[in-house]
A and B are shown apart, each in its own frame.
Chain A
Amino acid sequence: AQKVTQAQTEISVVEKEDVTLDCVYETRDTTYYLFWYKQPPSGELVFLIRRNSFDEQNEISGRYSWNFQKSTSSFNFTITASQVVDSAVYFCALSESPFGNEKLTFGTGTRLTIIP
Chain B
Amino acid sequence: DTGVSQDPRHKITKRGQNVTFRCDPISEHNRLYWYRQTLGQGPEFLTYFQNEAQLEKSRLLSDRFSAERPKGSFSTLEIQRTEQGDSAMYLCASSLEIRGGETQYFGPGTRLLVL
A residues lining the B interface (CB < 8 Å): 4, 33, 35, 37, 42-47, 50, 52, 91, 93, 99-109
Contacts and interface: CB of A to CB of B under 8 A. Distances in A.
B106 interface: yes
B29 to A, nearest CB: 11
Given A45-B91, A103-B33, A33 B101 contact: yes
A35 B109 CA distance: 19
A102 B48 contact: yes
B106 A44 contact: yes
B42 interface: yes
B46 to A, nearest CB: 9
Nearest 4 pairs of A and B residues by beta carbon: A106-B42, A103-B45, A45-B106, A101-B102
Given A37-B106, A45-B43, A100 B89 contact: no
Given A43-B89, A43-B108, A99 B103 contact: no
B103 A44 contact: no
A101 B31 contact: yes
Interface stretch (B17-25, B70-78, B92-100): B92-100
Nearest to A42: B108
Contacts of B55: 102
A83 B111 CA distance: 28
B103 A100 contact: yes
5 contacts: A4-B42, A47-B104, A101-B102, A102-B55, A107-B42
Contacts of B107: 44
Given A35-B103, A50-B101, A101-B31, 12 more contacts: A4-B42, A43-B111, A44-B107, A45-B106, A47-B103, A47-B106, A91-B43, A103-B33, A103-B45, A103-B58, A104-B35, A104-B43
